[in-house]
Amino acid sequence: MRCFTDEKRNNGSRMAVLLAAVMLLSVCVQAAVVPSSKQTLELKAGWNLVTLTKPLDSMSSNVQKFLSLRPVRYDVDSGAYVFCNRLEDMKAGVGYWVFSREKKTVELALDTTQAAVEPSLEKGWNLVGMTDGASWADSATAIWGWQDGSFKLFEKKDLKAGIAYWILMP
């Protein structure tokens, strides 16, 4: 009888250790999950100038949805437009041209653990996006945006997060 009791006690100890390991693993997995928020892009039919207000959540299926829109950014160094095909090409605060055949809404999951890094600006024209707290607007000589199919001059007070603008830096 004693042998049976010891075996029962050992099984109970093993179960307690197994349960503790499962609970610890659960806590570790939950801690590894990246908190995210959403950014909604309201695309009109035709060309749209947009930006990401924070880095994209790399675990989201919406990343591929955004990349399938074939966003285009302006490369200051080469003076040419470049198609973005990878997650690494997508940066918060950079301006992107996106063409849509129809009016649609695209929801993007953003990584809230990373702050948006303000893009470095060169003298002359830059295509950048308005992120929360972007300070480049204070230094800009001129700010042009795309609205209703044409360019429009904007005042600093009218800039909106999630929208990209052509800005002239002194």
Q: Under a CB-based contact definition with an 8 Å cutoff, are residues 40 and 106 in contact?
A: yes
Number of residues that make up the chain: 170
What is the residue-level pLDDT of the chain in tens, covering all 170 positions? Answer: 555 455 555 555 554 444 444 343 333 333 334 445 888 999 999 999 999 888 888 776 777 877 888 999 998 888 899 998 887 788 888 999 999 999 999 988 888 887 667 777 888 999 998 876 667 777 889 999 999 899 999 998 888 888 999 999 98
Same domain for 46 and 29: no
Q: Which range of residues forms the domain containing residue 16?
A: 1-33
Pairing of strands 124-129, 80-83: unpaired
Same domain for 128 and 62: yes
Same domain for 162 and 104: yes
Report the number of distinct structural domains present in the chain: 2
C-alpha 23/C-alpha 31 separation (Å) is: 12
C-alpha 119/C-alpha 113 separation (Å) is: 18
Same domain for 161 and 100: yes
pTM as predicted: 0.72
